[in-house]
Amino acid sequence: MLRRAALSVLGVEPVGPYTLLRLRRGAIRPGVPGQLFMLEAPGRLLPRPMSLCLAPPGELGFLIDPIGPGTRALACLEPGDELGVLGPLGHGFRLDVERPLLVGGGIGIAPLPYLSERLGHPPALVGFRSEWHAEAAALVPRAEVVVEPTLVTERLPEEPWDVLACGPEPMLRALRRLAPSAQLAWEAPMACGYGACYSCAVELDGEWQRLCVEGPVLSGGLR
């Protein structure tokens, strides 16, 4: 069920170069892994889309890569601060898979801890640009970790796994070629998160998709 609420910050913890923002859950439900939430830091004009990373009882945890003003404002919050949260939104991962293999790259590992929990901790393969970034792999159970120049696509097993992935666009496009039925969580800049502004429209296989409505998770590129 979609809800908007002001949630209070319980903790702000460094994880390598990333920040784990822990919020009191309040009226917001964690939803399906891979769905998105719009997080609005106090004093910021536009909210920022985030995937839920952890859902322990009574909490919602978001892993944030502070790359610009919006994400830095979220990473600079302090315990006791309040922020606006809207969600869960869009389509997450289908969980009716027989042999799940979770694949993540960089901050794209954000939805994998919650996804892993919901799937009973299947194997995972995660890649990072440095050992420092790879500290975040500790959040993903049963993860095989690779660091550049090795890429996750070089380590993808040959057996027929049900791949569920999130990461940078070149990684997702390579996975589509290697595992055509993979479920992939795509990204685009999002202003509203619920289909009204078209800022997230992307062309995939010749069709325009609003990622916040049809995605962010698309099967084999197209739902």
Ligand X SMILES: Cc1cc2nc3c(=O)[nH]c(=O)nc-3n(C[C@H](O)[C@H](O)[C@H](O)COP(=O)(O)OP(=O)(O)OC[C@H]3O[C@@H](n4cnc5c(N)ncnc54)[C@H](O)[C@@H]3O)c2cc1C
- Which parts of this chain interact with ligand FES (CB under 6 A)? 190-193, 195-200, 210, 212
48 binds, among ligand FES, ligand X, none (CB under 5 to 8 A by kind): ligand X
For the CB of residue 27, give the shortest distance to ligand X in the complex, in Å: 21
Give the CA angle between residues 59, 75, 115 to the nearest 5°: 45
In the list 49, 87, 92, 127, the residue contacting ligand X (rule: CB under 6 A) is 49
**Residues facing residue 63 across a β-bridge:** 20
Distance of alpha carbon 126 from its chain centroid, rounded? 13
191 binds, among ligand X, ligand FES, none (CB under 5 to 8 A by kind): ligand FES
In the list 40, 162, 187, 214, the residue contacting ligand X (rule: CB under 6 A) is 187
176 binds, among ligand X, ligand FES, none (CB under 5 to 8 A by kind): none
* Dihedral class, residue 152 (left if φ above 0, else alpha if ψ from -120 to 50, else beta): alpha
Q: What is the DSSP string of 63-115?
A: EE---SHHHHHHHT--TT-EEEEEEEESB------SSEEEEEEGGGGTTHHHH
209 makes contact with ligand X (CB under 6 A): no
SS3 content of the chain, % helix, strand, coil (to 5): 20, 35, 45
Residue 71 vs 116, nearer CB to ligand X: 71
Helix (H, G, I), strand (E, B) or coil at 166: strand
Under 8 Å between Cβ of 41 and 21: no
107 makes contact with ligand X (CB under 6 A): yes
Distances (CA, A) of 96 to 14, 39, 93, 99, 187: 33, 29, 9, 10, 23
Residue 15 vs 201, nearer CB to ligand FES: 201
For the CB of residue 70, give the shortest distance to ligand FES in the complex, in Å: 14
d(C-alpha 52, C-alpha 164), whole Å: 15
Residue 114 vs 161, nearer CB to ligand X: 114
**Which residue of this chain has its Cβ atom nearest to ligand X in the complex?**
68
In the list 7, 20, 23, 36, the residue contacting ligand X (rule: CB under 6 A) is 36
192 binds, among ligand X, ligand FES, none (CB under 5 to 8 A by kind): ligand FES
Which residues sit at the interface with ligand X, rule CB under 6 A?
Answer: 36, 48-51, 62-65, 67-71, 107, 110, 187-190, 216
